């Protein structure tokens, strides 16, 4: 994890009580097989993307993962149901060739504030979106971050400033989907501060763009798959947080309404 993203985690994860939530009437099922049986994943070498690869395979789907390093491809190719392709997401044609034949695309591509010039948070994600458009892959899930777009106010100002280049680049990718891909069934998932700990199973998606807090990477992956399968996540922008994790960020006393997947 980059030092700056570690900072976000540190700022989001400390003491005090978290927020409460109102329960949804229904929850999506992560095991229900849908039309999306062969899923392209960009960012699958580690973090949320790797959790996604594991969980998608566990749900009985095939995964095509685009990774930069041969060693990551070796690890993923050893998993039954996963085909890893070595390539750089900065190259649109590479992304398109890897995605060809898939019925859905998920991107968790992310970079660091230290990056200069092209940012994978925009250019890589844009290449995934553009490739999906070219290939007619109409189901796309873009994983960005709380602090992007309409959720800017949710991020504490010091966190927003520290992460600004990354958040703005991700927001630019979000806007491509929102403004130009009106025929696409897209969903944007904005997680809070990420932790690599076992799933709590208590994380939620919410349309409340003031929600802020922490969430474990395994739970983000599970929510992304639930969102993939749900019929009512088309053109939705959803924050992903875990009300069961204590956080220093002041959601105390606030009620966050869980988005009811259906």
Ligand X SMILES: NC(=O)c1ccc[n+]([C@@H]2O[C@H](COP(=O)([O-])OP(=O)(O)OC[C@H]3O[C@@H](n4cnc5c(N)ncnc54)[C@H](OP(=O)(O)O)[C@@H]3O)[C@@H](O)[C@H]2O)c1
Nearest distance from C-beta of residue 186 to ligand X, angstroms: 16
Instruction: Report the half-sphere exposure of 249 (CA within 13 A, side-chain side).
Output: 27
**Distance (Å, whole) CA 66 – CA 43:** 7
User: What does each C-alpha distance from 1 to 38, 51, 112, 241, 257 come to in angstroms?
Assistant: 28, 15, 9, 19, 30
**Distance (Å, whole) CA 24 – CA 110:** 30
Chain centroid to Cα 224, Å, comes to 7
User: What does each C-alpha distance from 24 to 214, 216, 217 come to in angstroms?
Assistant: 20, 20, 22
In the complex with ligand X, the residue whose CB is nearer, 133 or 165, is 165
Site string for ligand X, 162-201 (x = CB under 6 A): -----------------------------x-xx-------
How many residues are recorded in the chain? 262
Nearest distance from C-beta of residue 106 to ligand X, angstroms: 11
Tell which one of 13, 21, 40, 43 touches ligand X (CB under 6 A).
Answer: 43
Binding to ligand X (CB under 6 A) within 196-235 occurs at: 217
Stretch of 5-13, 96-104, 150-158, 241-249 lying at the interface with ligand X (CB under 6 A):
5-13
Nearest distance from C-beta of residue 111 to ligand X, angstroms: 6
Binding to ligand X (CB under 6 A) within 112-141 occurs at: 120, 124
Neighbours of 231 (CB within 10 A): 10
Binding to ligand X (CB under 6 A) within 15-34 occurs at: none
- Residue of 207, 212, 206, 205 lying closest to 245 (CA atoms): 212
Instruction: Report the half-sphere exposure of 170 (CA within 13 A, side-chain side).
Output: 28
Nearest distance from C-beta of residue 2 to ligand X, angstroms: 7
- Residue of 19, 24, 44 lying closest to 106 (CA atoms): 44
Nearest distance from C-beta of residue 209 to ligand X, angstroms: 14
Site string for ligand X, 78-117 (x = CB under 6 A): ----------xxx-----------------xxxx------
Nearest distance from C-beta of residue 67 to ligand X, angstroms: 6
Nearest distance from C-beta of residue 207 to ligand X, angstroms: 17
Q: By CB neighbour count within 10 A (0-12 exposed, 13-18 middle, 19+ buried), where does 201 fall?
A: exposed
Examine residue 5 and tell whether it contacts ligand X (CB under 6 A). yes
Binding residues for ligand X, rule: CB under 6 A, are 1, 5, 8-9, 43, 45-49, 66, 68-69, 88-90, 108-111, 120, 124, 143, 145, 191, 193-194, 217
């Amino acid at each position: 994890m980059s030092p700056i993203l570690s900072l976000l985690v540190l700022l989001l994860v400390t003491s005090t009580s978290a927020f409460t939530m109102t329960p949804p009437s229904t929850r999506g099922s992560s095991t229900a097989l849908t039309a999306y049986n062969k899923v392209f994943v960009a960012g699958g070498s580690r973090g949320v993307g790797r959790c996604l690869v594991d969980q998608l395979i566990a749900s009985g789907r095939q995964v095509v993962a685009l990774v930069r390093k041969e060693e990551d491809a070796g690890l993923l190719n050893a998993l039954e149901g996963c085909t890893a392709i070595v390539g750089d997401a900065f190259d649109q044609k590479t992304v398109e060739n890897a995605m060809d034949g898939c019925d859905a695309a998920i991107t968790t591509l992310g970079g660091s504030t230290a990056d200069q010039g092209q940012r994978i948070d925009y250019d890589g994600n844009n290449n995934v979106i553009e490739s999906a458009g070219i290939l007619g892959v109409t189901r796309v899930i873009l994983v960005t971050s709380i602090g992007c777009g309409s959720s800017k106010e949710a991020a504490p100002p010091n966190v927003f400033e520290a992460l600004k280049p990354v958040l703005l680049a991700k927001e630019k990718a979000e806007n491509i989907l929102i403004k130009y891909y009106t025929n696409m069934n897209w969903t944007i998932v904005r997680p809070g501060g990420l932790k690599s700990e076992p799933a709590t199973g208590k994380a939620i998606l919410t349309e409340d763009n003031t929600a802020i807090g922490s969430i474990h990477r395994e739970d983000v992956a599970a929510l992304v798959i639930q969102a993939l399968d749900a019929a009512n996540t088309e053109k939705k922008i959803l924050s992903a947080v875990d009300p069961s994790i204590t956080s220093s960020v002041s959601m105390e006393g606030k009620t966050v309404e869980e988005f009811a997947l259906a």
